[in-house]
Structure formats: structure tokens, C-alpha cells
Amino acid sequence: MHASFPALRLRRTRVAEWSRRLHRETVLTPANLIWPLFIAEGEGVEEPIASLPGVSRWSVDGIVARAKEARDLGIPCVALFPNTPSALRTADGREALNPDNLMCRAIRAIKQAVPEVGILTDVALDPYTAHGHDGLVDDAGYVLNDATVEVLVGQSLNQAAAGADIIAPSDMMDGRIGTIRDALEAAGHINVQIMAYAAKYASAFYGPFRDAVGSRGLLKGDKKTYQMDHANADEALREVAMDLAEGADSVMVKPGLPYLDIIRQVKDAFGVPVFAYQVSGEYAMIEAAAAAGAGDRDALVLETLTAFRRAGCSGVLTYHAAHAARLLGA
Ligand code: PBG
């Protein structure tokens, strides 16, 4: 036995719930949650997503209802993703620039009905392209960087004009944060934030999301020429440094749980607001585990979300947001 025993007993503070609460190092509250929502065309529409059990696409009226639910639960922000009708998907993704596209209609409706809820909008072309890539492709299928950035600027301005509060580029093109920032400033959107999907990995965990936005069947090849290799960490810090230098207000690491080490490194190295995206495949994994009786759903949800806080996150994008907020007693 070590000399410090029995004077030192780490179990002492764990002996009762009041003491465990008193010694808890991190807290999770509804204020730490961002709720991703999928938008469908139509009215009164709810379309369940089979690979994302418990999550549906909602038409704009339903999206507004979800935003009200978020407000009532103390969730500060929702993230919007459109399932663009296939007839509007083109090689150049031009529907992203339409001021009356699904995304802009949802933004305006939320802003009118629930102005106190923040709106984060994804910037990337994959919900709008016929090939499912986040940008413009050349004849060989390579995603063109600089030409794509130009379109992303237009997409960002379109979303900001509709009322988006946080522009969140998820495309992983080089140089897009600074270019978008300059354009937002020039257009007078000085208080529109940018949350950069800074360290976004080419991941096997995005499958159900691609079902949700209707790009899974369309996607040609993979996204490895622009999203990061899952073996890399130093490169994630370079991505974050670059996006911060270009004016990002906050950064995101994505996916979430398999990349807690990256979150911690980013937080320690930069001391900036870091967010994680607990992505669709992670959500599906938790739901599958719970459905199989391999774990208690509520406990899995709270443990994983708290882990993000412990790793250094200011907040988490999670499909469990409303459920978690209820569990937290909102
Ligand atoms: C698209 C985008 C993706 C996600 C968020 N924005 C998918 C992808 O990059 O293919 C994934 C989110 C999730 O899986 O929940 N740019």
C-alpha cells in the first residue's frame, strides 16, 4: 500500500449524490446544445428518416414549431439543412443562391415567429448538387477549390440576407472563411458570426445525414480530397489556425465522439469557442445500442454529451438536443 493510504481515499467524495454534485467538474445545460433540423418541401409534412430513428424532416411550418420547442426547452440555437427537391439539384448547385429556396424560407419563418432563437446555417453545396459533392467538380470529378469558394460566398450572403445568425461553412475548401468574412462585412452583415467546420473529417459516420438531405444515392465517389484524413491531428490544428486567422468566431470539430482528442487539443492550443458535431452515425449508433438493450438511452445521451463538455466544448450539435434538454429538466 502506498504511504498516502488511508489518508487519501478518492472514493470519499463519491459517497453520496450531494457530494458527487458538489465535486462535479463540468456541467451540461440546454444552453450547450444546438439542434440540427432537416427541412422538407410542402406544408404539414413530417417525413421520418429511416436511418435516423426518431428524427424527421419537417416542412417550414413544422420547422417553426421545432424552433418554438427549442426556445421553450432553453436550447439557444437550431441548425438548418434542406432536403432540396431533386428537380432543383444541378451540377452547379445554383439553388443554393435562390433567395426563396427552402433554407431561406425556413430562416425567414423562424425569424418572424421565434426571433429569440439563433439560426445556424450550413454552407456547402451538397444539398443542391446533382453529384452530391460540397462544391463544383471538374470533368474528372475533382472538387474545384477557388471556383467553389465563389459560390459559397453567394450562398452565405443569401443566407445572411434571409436572417441567418451563424454561417457555418462545412465544405472544407481552403480560404473560404476569409473570403466569406470579407463579403459579409462588405454587405453590412457585421454581426453575422462564422462557425467554421474547421476540422471536418472524411468520415463513415455521415451516412444517415446523407439520407436526410437526399444526397446519399447521388454522391459520386467520396469526399477524401477535401475532408480530412481520420488519422491526422496536427493537420486539424493547422486547419483551426487558418480558419481563426481568416476571421472565424468559433470552430467546430466533426464528427464528435471519435475525435474528443482533437477537441481537447484545439481548446488547449487556441482557447477559442470550440463546438462538436455529434453526427448522424453517432446518433444512430446510440439509438441502435439502446434498441438492442445494450445500454440505457438516456444515460448514453447524457454521458456522451457531457464528455464533449469535459473535452472542452462550448456546445454540441446533436440530434438528441430536445431529448437531452428534457432530461436536463428544462
Ligand atoms: C455537408 C454536411 C455533412 C454533415 C453536415 N454537413 C455531410 C457530409 O459532409 O457529407 C454531416 C452531419 C451528420 O452526419 O450528422 N457538407
Average pLDDT, the chain: 97
134 Cβ closer than 6 Å to some ligand 1 atom: yes
Map out the domains of the chain with their CATH numbers.
25-327 (3.20.20.70)
**Which of ligand 1's atoms lies nearest the C-alpha of 283?**
15
CB of 279 closer than 6 A to ligand 1? yes
Instruction: Look up residue 173 and give its three cell numbers.
Output: 475548401
pLDDT in tens, 63-103: 999 999 999 999 999 999 999 999 999 999 999 999 999 99
First to last CA, the chain: 46
Q: What is the pTM of this model?
A: 0.97
- Interface ipTM above 0.95: yes
Point out the residues that are catalytic: 200, 254
CA distances from 88 to 57, 138, 169, 197, 262 (A): 18, 20, 21, 26, 37
- Residue 2 pLDDT exceeds 90: no
Q: How far is the CA of 211 from the centre of ligand 1 (A)?
A: 10
pLDDT in tens, 19-59: 999 999 999 999 999 999 999 999 999 999 999 999 999 99
* Per-residue confidence (pLDDT) for residue 3, from 0 to 100: 81
Q: Probe ligand 1: pick from 122, 131, 167, 170, max atoms within 8 Å of CB?
A: 170
81 φ/ψ angles, rounded to the nearest 5 degrees? -140, 125
| Backbone φ/ψ region at 33: left (φ over 0), alpha (ψ -120 to 50), beta | beta
User: Is 211's C-beta closer than 6 angstroms to any atom of ligand 1?
Assistant: no
Distance of CA 148 to the CA centre of its chain: 21
Q: Say yes or no to pLDDT of 229 above 80.
A: yes
Centre of ligand 1 from the C-alpha of residue 122, in Å: 9
Residue 1 has pLDDT above 70, yes or no: no
CB atoms under 10 Å from CB of 229, counted, come to: 9
Model pLDDT for residues 99-148, shown as the tens digit of each residue: 999 999 999 999 999 999 999 999 999 999 999 999 999 999 999 999 99
Ligand 1 atom with least separation from CA of 215: 10
* CA 190 / ligand 1 centre spacing (Å): 27
Contact 33, 315 (CB under 8 A): yes
Q: What whole-number distance in Å separates Cα of residue 258 and Cα of residue 278? A: 9
| CA-nearest residue, atom 2 of ligand 1 | 170
Rounded Cα distance between 120 and 118, Å, is 7
Greater model confidence, 177 or 329: 177
15 CA to middle of ligand 1, Å? 43
Would you mind telling me the total number of residues written for the chain in this entry? 330
Binding residues for Mg(2+): 239
